[in-house]
Amino acid sequence: MLFQRLFSAGWLIACLAFAAIAWGYHAPFSYEPVGPRAFPLLMLGLMAVALAWQLLRPVPLRQAADEPPLDRAALLKVAGCIGLLLVYAGLFEPLGFIASSWLLGAAMARLYGGRWRAALSCSALLSVGLYLLFDKALDVPLPLGILGFLEI
In SS3 terms, the chain reads as CHHHHHHHHHHHHHHHHHHHHHHCCCCCCCCCCCCCCHHHHHHHHHHHHHHHHHHHCCCCCCCCCCCCCCCHHHHHHHHHHHHHHHHHHHHHHHHCHHHHHHHHHHHHHHHCCCCHHHHHHHHHHHHHHHHHHHHHHCCCCCCCHHHHHHCC
For 66-122, write each residue's pLDDT tens digit. 666 778 888 898 899 999 999 999 998 889 888 999 999 999 999 988 899 999 999
* Same domain? 79 vs 130: yes
* Same domain? 36 vs 87: no
Structural domain boundaries enclosing 123: 72-150
* Same domain? 26 vs 79: no
Q: Looking at residue 61, what is its pLDDT?
A: 46
Q: Would 7 be classed as within a structural domain?
A: yes
Q: How confident is the model at residue 39 (pLDDT cuts 50, 70, 90)?
A: confident
* Same domain? 27 vs 84: no
**Which among 31, 56, 81 is the end of a domain?**
56
Question: Of residues 59 and 75, which shows the higher confidence score?
Answer: 75
Q: Would 142 be classed as within a structural domain?
A: yes
* Same domain? 46 vs 114: no
- Please enumerate, as own/partner, the contacts of 70-73 that have beta carbons within 8 Å and a separation of 24 or more: none
* Same domain? 51 vs 77: no
Q: How confident is the model at residue 30 (pLDDT cuts 50, 70, 90)?
A: low
Q: Looking at residue 134, what is its pLDDT?
A: 84
Q: Would 37 be classed as within a structural domain?
A: yes
Question: Of residues 47 and 31, which shows the higher confidence score?
Answer: 47
**Which among 13, 30, 56 is the end of a domain?**
56
* Same domain? 136 vs 81: yes
Q: Would 8 be classed as within a structural domain?
A: yes
* Same domain? 114 vs 139: yes
* Same domain? 26 vs 85: no
Question: Quick one: average pLDDT of 3-20?
Answer: 87
* Same domain? 145 vs 79: yes
- Please give the tally of structural domains in the chain: 2
Q: Would 62 be classed as within a structural domain?
A: no
Question: Quick one: average pLDDT of 143-151?
Answer: 76
At residue 140, what are phi and psi to the nearest 5 degrees?
-100, 110
Q: Mean pLDDT over all residues of the chain?
A: 83
* Same domain? 52 vs 79: no
Question: Quick one: average pLDDT of 2-19?
Answer: 86
